[in-house]
Amino acid sequence: MISLRGILVFIGCLWLAGCARQPQTELQIVRDEVARAYATGASILAAQDYRQAAEALHQAEILVYRKDYSEARDLLNRALINATRASSLAEEKKRLLIEDVHIKPQELPAPAPANVEPPPAKRPPRPDSAQTPPPPPEKKVRLLIQVQVAPGETLFTLAGRRDIYGDSLLWPLLYKANRDQIKDPQEIFAGQIFTIPRDKSVQEQNAARDEARKSPLFSH
């Protein structure tokens, strides 16, 4: 997690870098931090800060594509601060949730009075009747065939969702299947409804990954 000192150093680097250079390094740092925030569950546990970070990153990507580097750096700075705060809030809420499941001393049952006889001990089960309970069924993720774009989402983040592909490098499949709605793969809009192709072979998926790795549109 990026510390406050790290954020200040990052901001200093942006100032020293000037406005003429394309902020590829800064862009990758912010993408990594937003992805880390998502991995901590910040999209649910710290939804407001995470949404603001994702939206600022998305707008910065558009500005970088348009070569408006000065304003892009301002948005990257904002996205980094929000993503870092979202990660911290999510981690803290998870810690509190874990602590809440432990039994507190005041919640333990009070001991029985001395003049009350203890309940009779239960007989242990017969060896032939003891059975190991079956493991709980694994919760399956319901795969979508259509998805409505939420604020701040990109083709890269959409493809990485578990209910879509679970692999961000498959974003070219989404782009090609919805090219009638997408003029620029780095610029999609909240409310758009995309079709998710499910009939792609392993070879087609591998080709999409190779294309994504070679593309300069989204760093990975």
Q: What is the mean pLDDT of each successive set of 10 residues along the chain, which is 220 residues long?
A: 53 50 81 84 86 86 83 84 85 77 51 53 57 67 86 90 90 92 90 91 93 79
For residue 100, what pLDDT is reported? 61
Residue 30 neighbours by CB under 8 Å, 6+ apart: 57, 60, 76, 79, 80, 83
Domain that holds residue 11: 4-100
> Is 106 within a domain?
no
User: What pLDDT shows up at residue 180?
Assistant: 93
Provide the H-helix boundaries in 40-161: 42-45, 47-65, 69-100, 155-160
Which amino acid, 52? Answer: Q
Looking at the structure of the chain, the number of domains it has is 2
CATH number at residue 172: 3.10.350
Residue 219 counted as domain residue: no
- Tell me, yes or no, whether 20 and 87 share the same domain: yes
The answer to the question of residue 17 being in a domain is yes
Is residue 157 included in any domain, yes or no? yes
Quick check: is 168 in a domain? yes
* pLDDT value of position 121: 58
Specify the pLDDT at position 174: 93
Residues 6 or more apart whose Cβ sits within 8 Å of residue 196: 143, 144, 145, 146, 147, 164, 165, 174, 177
Residues 153 and 95 in one domain: no
Domain-located, residue 21: yes
Does any domain span residue 201?
Answer: yes
Do 95 and 18 belong to one domain? yes
Q: Give the domain-ending residue among 66, 85, 100.
A: 100
Give the per-residue pLDDT at 170. Answer: 93
> Domain ends where: 65, 100, 135?
100
pLDDT value at position 144?
Answer: 83
In a domain, 109, yes or no: no
Q: Are residues 14 and 74 in the same domain?
A: yes
Please state the pTM of the whole predicted model. Answer: 0.41
pLDDT digits (tens, 9 = 90+) for 47-61: 888 888 888 888 888
Which pLDDT value is given to residue 15? 44
Nearest to 178 by CA among 164, 193, 168: 193
Residues 160 and 94 in one domain: no
pLDDT at res. 113: 53
